[in-house]
Amino acid sequence: MERLDTFLFRGTATPTRHTRVFGGEVAAQALMAAGRTVPADRLVHSLHAYFLRPGDPAAPLVYQVDPIRDGGSFTTRRTVAVQHGKPIFHLSASFHRPEEGFSHQPAKTDRPEPEELPSDREVLSAADTATREWFATVHGDSPLEIRFAAELPRFAALRGESAPPVQRFWFRTREALPDDPLLHACAVAYASDLLLLSSSVAPHATTLDSGGLQFASLDHTLWLHATPRADDWVFYDQEGLWAGGARALCRGSLTDRSHRLIGSVVQEGLIRPLR
């Protein structure tokens, strides 16, 4: 991220085989731009975003930050990502000065530890050519290492079978990150968009890239309940809650190695059958 002015930043997309920028990357950069205009003692606790237009991976992304409010405990920022003179993404983020308060969270869930699981590359080595090409397209240039806790619904769909709308995997950045809470929050924001919408089509024995669907993320919300460490393993439990009217609603929970709930995610997406 290059700072052009007090509230103006420029970023670049990671080269990809996709014809559009990965939504998580735009969200992460927009959050970084917002966070760089906020006092360091205020940590991001929520972001709400809308995907307006597909991003062009060959063009720079300009981020315009609006300093909406600086309060006694909370700071609010709005960031608009612009390409070719048009807004492609809108994010509102809230930052909070840490305070003491009540504390509880859901009970622990059963899950395998990351060391017990094969790497993503080992899993994909046994897959068919089309699946390997799909994974290389959506994840080949990603800075994340992934370990799947169970078979992806995608594999059931390729056998012509439906599956529960659930995906569970561990992730972490491939490289160690500096001790910058905003950077780790941005890395988690990046990962929060990974594969989430695909959970919604599992009961229908299909995949997003089957050629029979038009799909896109519409809006995305992330709440951070604790300061994450993205270069240590984070467990992402995803579920496609609902689908109807050419839309789907997915949710996710993010927990660290100690089972601490560090984040909650909700996303609505377009899944329009093509006729």
* Residues forming the active site: 193, 217, 267
Residue among 232, 234, 251, 235 nearest 243 (CA) = 251
| Cα distances (angstroms) measured from residue 154 to each of 33, 35, 171, 173, 207 | 35, 36, 19, 24, 6
Residue 1 CB-density burial (10 A; 0-12 exposed, 13-18 middle, 19+ buried): middle
Q: Where are the beta strands (DSSP E) in the chain?
A: 2-5, 8-11, 43-51, 61-70, 74-83, 86-96, 144-148, 166-173, 213-224, 234-244, 247-255, 261-273
Q: What is the spatial distance between Cα 180 and Cα 185, in angstroms, rounded to a whole number?
A: 9
141 close to 14: Cβ distance less than 8 angstroms: yes
Structure tokens given for 198: 């695909």
139 close to 120: Cβ distance less than 8 angstroms: yes
How many residues would you count in the chain?
Answer: 275
